[in-house]
Amino acid sequence: MTELTLSKAIGSGLRRALSDDDRVVILGEDIGALGGVFRITDGLQRDFGADRVMDMPLAESGIIGMAVGLAYRGFRPVCEIQFDGFIYPAFDQIVSQVAKLHYRTRGAVRMPLTIRVPYGGGIGAVEHHSESPEAYFTHTSGLRVVTCSTPQDAHTMIRQAIACDDPVLFFEPKRRYWTKGEVDEDADFPMDAARVVVTGTDVTIVTYGPLVATAIDAAAAAADDGVSIEVIDLRSLSPLDLETVEASVRTTGRLVIAHEAQEFGGLGAEIATAITDRCFYHLEAAPARVAGFDVPYPASRLEEHFLPDLDRMLDAVDRVMGRENALTGWSAS
Residues identified as active-site: 129
Edge-first strand order for the sheet with 114-119 is 53-55, 24-28, 76-80, 114-119, 168-173, 144-147, 236-238
HEC-encoded secondary structure of 265-307: CCHHHHHHHHHHHHHHHHCCCCCEEEEECCCCCCCHHHHHHHC
Cα–Cα distance, 316 to 77 (Å, whole number)? 41
Question: Residue 150: what residue type?
Answer: T
Task: Work out the burial of residue 223: count CB atoms within 10 Å of its CB; fewer than 13 is exposed, 13-18 middle, 19 or more buried.
Answer: middle
For residues 117 and 177, the answer to whether their CB atoms sit within 8 Å is: no
Can you tell me whether residue 311 is helix, strand or coil? helix
Can you tell me whether residue 72 is helix, strand or coil? helix
For residues 85 and 57, the answer to whether their CB atoms sit within 8 Å is: no
- Residue 99: CA count within 13 A, CB half-sphere: 19
For residues 272 and 233, the answer to whether their CB atoms sit within 8 Å is: no
For residues 282 and 304, the answer to whether their CB atoms sit within 8 Å is: no
Cα–Cα distance, 16 to 208 (Å, whole number)? 25
